[in-house]
Structure 1
Amino acid sequence: MSNPSTTTSSTLDYSSDTSDPPLFPPSHHHNPRLNRYTRPLISYVRNEWQLSNSKYSQLPTTTGNNTNTADSSLNYYLQMILSIITAPRFRRYAIVYLSLVLGCLVGWEYFLAPRMEEHAELVKALDPDVGESVGGWFGVNALPRLEGVVLLGELAGELVPGASGSGTGSGSGKNDGKEKTGTGRRLVVVGDVHGCSSELEHLLTEVTFTPSTDHLILAGDLINKGPDSTGVVDLARKYSASCVRGNHEDRVLVLRRDMIDADTLTDTSADAFLDGQSTEQAKRDRTLARKLSDEQAEWLDACPVILDVGQVPNMGRVAVVHGGLVPGVELEKQDPFSVMNMLSIDLETHLPSSERGEGIKWTKLFNKHQSVTYSNLKSTSTEVARAQTTTVIYGHDSKTGLNIKTYTKGLDSGCVKGGKLTALVISDDGEQELVQVRCNNYLDS
């Protein structure tokens, strides 16, 4: 067995000199690892920067020759920049800030800039100088007529919801400036039904429709496409509903009048030889024209293109149409065909179109026009300013679907193609509620 006092180490120097006091009391079992070092322990510590092969040994120091050349100074700064770049924290911050910059650029390019550009175009489109430069906006000086078509109708004042408060009043649609007592009445405005009579009945059940206090308004396209167009007309007549003329009513009623003149309403023998009447839509229109009774057709013919509801609290003047309205044009001067069919509008001329992409959506220009009108009058009083604005409730645009804005309320939610049937319920103080029911898809069948 070897002597513990003779144990050596290749790394640390130590001695078993017994001239100094022992570190531990004498023991019969002496551990050979417990030896005294010849120098303090700190002297045996070796840091990585002290080693000759360390990566830090290449970094220049400030000690030594002070006459550094330009190259050595450049190397020093390059090494310093490189050490900063390679630091993990720098990389994390760089990724975060780069993501923020890219996010701001994308937000500006695809969201803020297009909206600011559109805002500028809308403001320019409402500038009177622009109207003069194009020879006057569409409809301002026009008084269009359509034979056999009622352009404008008015809703009876006793059917319009009123304002709550202590005062007297009957809820008349006219704005007399006096505070009115709530009437407890409701307007139930329904989007395109398209012959879906069972869904309409379901919707009226959902809104707890009460004929004595509620009034039903149908925003056009009551008929066609769906399974029971005559049933929808009968249901509307049963509840003494109001309606507006849609493009489908207009087409079928005009066709029915032509068929009566040609004595083909009951005679079907010549249908196969009618030029331009061989399409599925034309066949469907002719079938429906024959199916409508004289009373049903007369009721539909009496539906105006524009229904002037009158003043509704917190909504201003309310109008119900099927397609849309040109802003800045009086209701009496609106083009009936455009009111039934418009989807877009030209910014320079305000000429409406039944095609998408011919300018911008008419609702954007209309809302901008009404907001400018409100802002210009707001200095007087909020109530007076709101009373001078117009809110339009419309259908027709199933592709866009439900589209509720401040001054435009789009209710066509594609019922006949499996979407929903929507009702906008307006009660006292102009309080609005949307109610919807699901519909079957009748187009696939």
Structure 2
Amino acid sequence: MALYLVGDIQGCYNELDALLCKVKFSPKEDLLWIAGDLVARGPDSLSTLEFVKSLGHSANFVLGNHDLHLLAIEAGIKKAKNSDKLTSLLNSPNFSQLVDWLALHPLLLKVPNDNAYMSHAGLSPQWSIKHAVKQAEFAHKKIAGRKREKWLSIMYGEQPNDWQLVETKEQRFRYTVNAFTRMRYCYPDGTLDFSCKDQPKNAPSALKPWFELAKLQKAKWVFGHWAALMGECSRKNVYALDTGCVWGGHLTMLRWEDKKIFTEISHEIDS
């Protein structure tokens, strides 16, 4: 059995299918984990969700910011943009069922039998891993629960961006969602920045990538979300899997057992 970890698919279903064929993925023997953002901006979010759902227990994933935004669209909190390319998904008779299934998934996963974790954006430098696990479970229960719409309406906003300033459950929820799904850079004190998306060499000197500040110790961390990195990371125990397939880059898959990387170049550049 092999565990395959893949970065942001964002509706690039054909590239995912090609990668799985390349590694001869078997749902009966292997596992597929996705680092969030299954949907939006790519050509076929509907097929992506339907396929991953069809894999049953052979697939798992963490929620990304685009996945959460889809939940908010279904709840009537936000409206889809043309650039999201979600029309076929939104018009699908299975849309509500797919959204309910999507909402059951967590913000954080631990790799079995290993000191390794996966989240969409990373680990807040203001948290220990133990603390992050606790906050992820708190937010997961809100998103998967009966009052999902209420909590989704609370998640938008960039304050507080400092864990030390969190006072209410609502602030705790918003900070947690932002840390796990939107974070890239932080200030030296660990407070979150949401404005810079560039490569570290082009970022303002006051900002540091979250993984240079995070309290990882010997743990390994897998994340997506940050296409500008193109898989490059300054820490050997951190694996960046978003390589911008939806932007004309490529889809990246990591076989966990031997850390071998497989890629599939974006099919959109050929169309």
Provide TM-score, normalisation by structure 1: 0.45
Distance 1:422 1:310 in 2: 21
- Residue 83 of structure 2 corresponds to residue 243 of structure 1: no
For residues 244 and 121 of structure 2, what CA distance do their matches in structure 1 show? Answer: 15
Q: Which residue of 1 aligns with 2:122?
A: 324
From 247, 253, 260, the equivalent of 1:423 is 253
> For each residue in 1:178-205, what CA deviation from the matched residue of structure 2 results, as whole angstroms up to 9, or x when unmatched?
xxxxxxx211011011111111010001
Q: Distance in 2 between matches of 1:396 and 1:216?
A: 18
Classify 1:408/1:249 alpha carbon distance in 2 versus 1 (closer, same or farther; 3 Å).
Answer: same
Larger radius of gyration: 1
Query: Given the alignment of the two structures, is residue 257 of structure 1 paired with residue 82 of structure 2, yes or no?
Result: no
Structure 2: gaps of 5 or more residues = 137-175, 197-203
**Equivalent residue letter for 1:293:** F
SS of structure 1 residue aligned to 2:264: strand
Distance 2:265 2:120 in 1: 21
1:301 and 1:290 mapped to 2: Cα distance? 19
What is the CA–CA distance in structure 1 between the aligned matches of 2:55 and 2:86, rounded to whole Å? 26
Determine the structure 2 residue equivalent to 1:109. none
Could you give the per-residue CA deviations for residues 398-421 of structure 1, whole angstroms, max 9, x where no partner exists? 111112532210001111121111
Structure 1: runs of 5 or more not aligned: 1-184, 260-275, 374-388
For residues 218 and 361 of structure 1, the distance between their equivalents in structure 2, rounded to whole angstroms, comes to 22
Partner Cα distance (1:416, 1:343) in 2: 19
2:23 is aligned with 1:207: yes
Instruction: Determine what percentage of the aligned residue pairs are the same residue.
Output: 26
Q: Highest relative contact order (Cα 8 Å, sep 6+), 1 or 2?
A: 2
- Aligned residue pairs, count: 216
Are residues 1:362 and 2:210 paired?
yes
Q: In the alignment, is the contact (CA less than 8 A) between 2:89 and 2:95 conserved in 1?
A: no
5 Å-filtered alignment, 1:39-438, equals 185-240=1-56, 241-258=59-76, 280-281=82-83, 284=85, 288-291=89-92, 293-312=95-114, 317-327=115-125, 328-329=127-128, 330-331=131-132, 332-333=134-135, 335-348=176-189, 350-356=190-196, 357=204, 359-366=207-214, 369-370=215-216, 373=217, 389-404=218-233, 405-427=235-257, 431-438=258-265
How many angstroms apart in 1 are the aligned matches of 2:109 and 2:91?
27
The equivalent residue for 1:103 is none
Partners of 1:235 and 1:243 in 2: how far apart? Answer: 13
Distance 2:80 2:223 in 1: 31
Tell me the CA shift for residue 437 of structure 1: 1.0
Q: How does the TM-score come out when normalised to structure 2?
A: 0.72
Q: CA deviation at 1:279?
A: 5.5
SS at match of 1:441: helix
The 2-side partners of 1:246 and 1:364 are apart by 21
With over 3 angstroms needed to count, the CA separation of the structure-2 counterparts of 1:248 and 1:278, relative to structure 1, is: closer
Question: Letter of the aligned partner of 1:396 in structure 2?
Answer: H
CA–CA distance in structure 2, aligned partners of residues 419 and 437 of structure 1 = 9
SS of the residue corresponding to residue 113 of structure 2 reads: strand
**Alpha-carbon distance in 1 for matches of 2:21, 2:47:** 16
Contact kept? 2:108, 2:118, Cα under 8 Å: yes
Matched to 1:413, the amino acid is: T
Please, what is the CA RMSD of the aligned residues?
A: 2.5
Q: 1:391 deviation in Å?
A: 1.2
Structure 1 outlier segments of 4+, above 3 Å:
276-282, 284-292
Counterpart Cα distance in 1 of 2:81 and 2:100: 26
Change (3 A) 1:278 1:235: closer
CA apart distance, 1:354: 2.4
